[in-house]
Each structure stands twice: as structure tokens, then as C-alpha cells.
Amino acid sequence: MSETFQTQSFGGTGLEPRRPLFSAMWRGAKGRCPNCGEGALFRAYAKSVDRCGHCGEEIFHHRADDLPAYLNVFVVGHIVVAGFLLVERVTDWPGWAHLALWIPVTIIMALALIPPIKGAVIGLQWANRMHGFGGEADDVADPDIDPRQHG
């Protein structure tokens, strides 16, 4: 049984040079343009810019959608549950004390991690030339929707 494996290509022609995945994700996590690392990636809390103010790279067509929220729940949930179990193991706190500690910790961590996680997802998409970062536009399920309005 003979199989031929093709190199996976998300966008572009497949002949372009590879983009650095981890540095693009790191730049995005720091809130910087995944291309140049200089321009701001967000204009508000987690609202991405339309294009980089430094290098001009278009950012508006990213499709981070719900992945940052899912990753946030995964990371925060594991940290908070592990912390709760550790504190429960070594202390004898009443339930109200746990609530007083873990509810604010959960909210603060969740809010603090959304922008870096979203930036890393945008960097991932840029590095893999996904969702318009490869030069061609994605097909939109509803052509009346402008992707610039949903960042």
C-alpha cells in the first residue's frame, strides 16, 4: 500500500518561505504584530487592529473566534482546580474562605489571559497563512458580513 503525503498548506501557494511559528505566537501573546513585533496588535482590551501601524500587515481578517476563550477556560480551570486542591489538602479552611479566594482569582486570571491567548492564536494563524494571511480571502458563509466588524 503506497501513500503519498503532501505538505499541509493553509494559505498562499505553498512556495512562500515558512513563517516563524513560535516567534509569531510569542509576539502575538505580547500584544505585538506577529509580522514585525513592533506595532500594537490590539486597539482595545481584546479588539484587534485592522492593520499594523508599523509594517502595515493586515490583521482584520483573522478568525480567532472562540478558540481563545476555550483555551482560557482550559488553562484557568486547571490552575484554579489544582490550587484549590492543594490549599484544601494543607489547610482546614471553611467553604466561604475558599469562595473568597478562588472566585476573584478565577475572574482576574480569566480576564488577564484573554488578550495574550488571543494574540497567540492570531500569531498562529499568521504563521500558518490561515484565514487571509496567505494572500487570498476566505470564503464567508454570509457575504453580507464584513469581517472588519467582527475582530
pLDDT digits (tens, 9 = 90+) for 24-67: 999 999 999 999 999 999 999 999 999 999 998 889 888 888 99
5-9, 27-31, 63-67, 145-149: the lowest-pLDDT one: 5-9
Q: What is the pLDDT of residue 16?
A: 73
Residue 100 confidence class, pLDDT cut points 50, 70, 90:
very high
CA–CA separation, 108 vs 29, rounded Å?
Answer: 17
12: number of Cβ within 10 Å: 15
Contacting residues for 31 by C-beta, under 8 A, at least 6 apart: 40, 41, 42, 115, 116, 119
Q: What is the pLDDT of residue 102?
A: 97
The number of angstroms, rounded, from the C-alpha of 26 to the middle of its chain's C-alpha atoms is 10
The set of cell numbers assigned to 124 is 498562529
Residue 137 CA: distances (Å) to CA of 50, 71, 89, 142: 15, 26, 53, 14
Predicted structure pTM score: 0.79
CA–CA separation, 66 vs 30, rounded Å?
Answer: 19
Residue 125, class by beta-carbon neighbours within 10 Å (0-12 exposed, 13-18 middle, 19+ buried)?
buried
CA–CA separation, 147 vs 60, rounded Å?
Answer: 7
